[in-house]
Amino acid sequence: MHPQRLKNRLDYPLKKADSYVLYWMQQSQRMENNFALAHAAKAANALSLPLRVVFCVAESFPEANARHYAFLLEGLKSLTASFKRMGADFRVEIGAFEDVVARHMEKAALFVMDKAYLCELQKVRDRLVEHAESLSLRVDEVESELIVPVEVASDKVEYAARTIRPKILKRLEEFSEEASIPALRVRRPFNPGLVELPMEETIKKLNVDKTMKKSFYFHGGEKEAQRMLAEFLEERLADYHESADPGEYFTSKLSPYLHFGHISPLSIRAAVEERLTERDVPPHAAEAFLEQLIVRRGLAFNFVYYHEGYDEFEKMTLPWAYETMERHLEDEREHLYTLADYEKEKDETHDEYFNAAMREMKRTGHMHNTLRMYWAKQIIRWSSDYKEAYETILCLNNKYFLDGRDPNTYAGIAWCFGRHDQGFEERPVFGKLRPMVARGLKRKFDIERYVAYAKRL
Ligand SMILES: Cc1cc2nc3c(=O)[nH]c(=O)nc-3n(C[C@H](O)[C@H](O)[C@H](O)COP(=O)(O)OP(=O)(O)OC[C@H]3O[C@@H](n4cnc5c(N)ncnc54)[C@H](O)[C@@H]3O)c2cc1C
């Protein structure tokens, strides 16, 4: 493992007399290319101790609902089988992160956790480090969700893709080594209570919105992620450079799996490079895909990591964008809708492209990138003010999308308000923000085909 993936948060000597090495799994919910798991397993072997892996199913999580939890629990089911094979002492418990994890820290020889990027999840880790201090427990934090770790790529808020791209690409090869998880020297018998994680029973116990339906399209877990990747490589990667057209839908649909850590960008990149050696994939198609996966995604992680207030309307974008919104606040809106209108069961707006996008979102938990931009831009046009628009977009995004509450969420929405973008010719309501209207979709894409696709969902 590249040493810069690891941050020692508390440097106490390892407590050899204690009973296990503890890995708290949260961000990277997988076995493959999980550097935190590999690090914890190696440490357990070095100390001749068993490895305990704790997964805490948070009783409630801001904005998460039964759809997200169903996906998460599907992932846990596949992990349970993997940990059984590995001989790790895998514990799944419902509760608050701090309570559950802190309890397991009491007897640990070493505490390993994966790195978080969003502010709230970083704070949970800070509180656990404080608790470890009181136990004189060594804490190692390991990063697996980016190929080039966020602090290695840059030490400040980056302005745009063009400013972060050379920084990431310069270090990319250095961080391409894959994680190797050793066989455990001390194996623990499997906890049979975990074999069947009863999904419905578990969800009933949680304090979350249970009215949201599970996605019929996406199923969580490492195996499913690999299946989706294989399907993408086989059927769509070769045409990815044309993936802006929602009618064709050449994108990977891997974002829910990336969000839950069911797959790593490192594994995806390696699989793409391997596929590239076959003649039917043009290099520019693979390059276009890796630009999104590595550079755009890296920019989003940079944004949430370094920009305080990335999730607040008043702080998330740039001065020129606030100025233009201020000037156009009183512009007449052609149509006005509220969050309640968008939440109605039926496709209610006057715009069939927007309705199709909403249908995809509500039914599957996903939306094509071009439509995400269009969808958010129309909410900006049809809200009585920009703050209301921001809050409506964020609320719908995080409620319905399986990949919601991700760094890409906050960067994607802020982009619609000018962040990482440039000013355009001034026009009503949008001001200098990049405009997007139905005419553009019709001119550039086979949008009717997308509408037909959404109707079938
Ligand atoms: C208003 C708005 C809201 C968005 N909300 C989310 C969200 O909640 N969660 C989320 O993961 N993405 C979000 N995005 C970014 C992007 O739309 C999705 O990542 C992408 O559509 C996911 O589909 P895919 O996996 O098929 O992408 P592909 O095109 O196959 O791309 C592969 C991967 O690259 C990354 N990627 C692709 N496009 C972008 C982008 N523009 N910015 C950053 N990374 C990107 C994603 O991790 C994606 O899974 C949002 C964009 C906008 C404009």
Q: Could you tell me what percent of the chain has a pLDDT over 70?
A: 98
Beta carbons within 10 angstroms of residue 257's beta carbon:
29
pLDDT digits (tens, 9 = 90+) for 72-83: 999 998 899 899
Ligand 1 center–CA 22 separation, angstroms: 33
To test the pocket of ligand 1, the residue of 242, 248, 292 to mutate (highest count of ligand atoms within 8 Å of its CB) is 292
Site residues for ligand 1, CB cut-off 6 Å:
243, 251-255, 258-259, 292-293, 296-297, 300, 369, 372-373, 376, 397, 401, 403-404, 406, 408-409, 411-413, 415-416
Indicate the top mutation candidate among 242, 373, 408 to test ligand 1's pocket, ranked by most ligand atoms within 8 A of CB. 408
Determine contact, residues 390/418, Cβ cutoff 8 Å. Answer: no
User: Is residue 446 within 8 Å of 243, Cβ to Cβ?
Assistant: no
Is the pLDDT at 193 greater than 70? The verdict is: no
Q: What phi, psi does 114 have (nearest 5°)? A: -90, 160
Q: Of 365, 360, 333, 364, which is closest to residue 347 (Cα–Cα)?
A: 360
Candidate from 158, 297, 369, 390 with most ligand 1 atoms within 8 A of CB, to mutate: 369
| Alpha-carbon span 222 to 78, nearest angstrom | 7
pLDDT tens digits along 339-386: 999 998 777 899 999 999 999 999 999 999 999 999 999 999 999 999
The answer to whether the CB of 184 falls within 8 A of the CB of 88 is: yes
Contact indicator for 2, 175 with CB cutoff of 8 Å: yes
SS3 at position 447: helix
The 8 Å CB, 24+ separation contacts for 150-157 are 150/115, 150/117, 150/298, 150/301, 150/302, 150/305, 151/4, 151/305, 152/4, 153/298, 153/302, 154/302, 154/306, 156/306, 157/302, 157/303, 157/306, 157/307
Nearest to 147 by CA among 304, 303, 38, 4: 4
CA of residue 2 relative to chain centroid, distance: 23
CA of 181 to the centre of ligand 1 (A): 30
Atom of ligand 1 nearest to the CA of 401: 8
pLDDT at residue number 422: 96
Q: Kindly give the distance from the C-alpha atom of residue 48 to the centroid of ligand 1, in angstroms, as a whole number.
A: 42
pLDDT in tens, 10-33: 999 988 776 899 999 999 999 999
How large is the angle between the packed helices 386-400 and 369-381, nearest 10 degrees? 140
Distance 255 CA to ligand 1 centre (A): 6
Closest atom, ligand 1, to C-alpha of 255: 49
Q: Give the mean pLDDT of 23-49.
A: 97
The sheet carrying 108-114 orders its strands as 6-10, 139-142, 108-114, 20-24, 51-58, 89-95
Neighbours of 188 (CB within 10 A): 17
Residue 376 alpha carbon, nearest atom of ligand 1: 1
Q: What structural domains and CATH numbers belong to the chain?
A: 3-144 (3.40.50.620), 145-178+222-306 (1.25.40.80), 319-456 (1.10.579.10)
What per-residue confidence (pLDDT) applies to 252? 98
| Number of other CB atoms surrounding residue 74 within 10 Å | 21
Contact of 74 with 214, CB cutoff 8 Å: no
Can you name the residues that pair with 23 across neighbouring β-strands? 53, 112
Report residue 194's pLDDT band, with 50, 70 and 90 as the boundaries: low
In the reported structure, the alpha carbon of residue 408 is separated from the centroid of ligand 1 by a whole-number distance in angstroms of 6
For the chain, what is the total number of helices (H) and then of strands (E)? 20, 6
Query: How is residue 57 written in tokens?
Result: 């199913």
Cα of 223 to ligand 1 centre, how many Å? 21
Distance from C-alpha of 379 to C-alpha of 343, rounded to nearest angstrom? 13
Among protein residues, the one with the nearest Cα to ligand 1's atom 34 is: 293
Instruction: Tell me the pLDDT tens digit for each residue of 267-312.
Output: 999 999 999 887 689 999 999 999 999 999 999 999 999 999 999 9
Cα 356 to ligand 1 centre (Å): 18
H or E, element range at 56: strand 51-58
- Residue nearest atom 40 of ligand 1, based on CA coordinates: 296
Q: Ligand 1 centroid to 292 CA: how many Å?
A: 8
Q: If you take atom 7 of ligand 1, which residue's CA is the nearest one?
A: 409
3-state SS class at 52: strand
What atom of ligand 1 comes closest to residue 232's alpha carbon?
Answer: 30
In order, the DSSP letters of 104-127 are: HHTTEEEEEEE---SHHHHHHHHH
Q: Please, what is the average pLDDT of the chain?
A: 95
Amino acid, single-letter form, for residue 23: Y
Overall average pLDDT of the 211-218 stretch: 91
Query: What pLDDT score was predicted for residue 126?
Result: 98
| Chain segment 136-179, per-residue pLDDT in tens | 999 999 999 999 999 999 999 999 999 999 999 999 999 999 99
The residue among 235, 271, 275 whose CA lies nearest residue 251 is 235
User: According to the model, what pLDDT value does residue 195 have?
Assistant: 53
Q: Which pTM was predicted?
A: 0.97
CA dihedral 116, 175, 254, 303 (to 10 degrees): 50
Residue 396 has pLDDT above 90, yes or no: yes
Per-residue confidence band for 216, with pLDDT thresholds at 50, 70 and 90 = very high
Mean pLDDT, range 54-61, rounded to an integer: 88
Q: What is the DSSP letter of 444?
A: H
Is residue 43's pLDDT more than 90?
A: yes
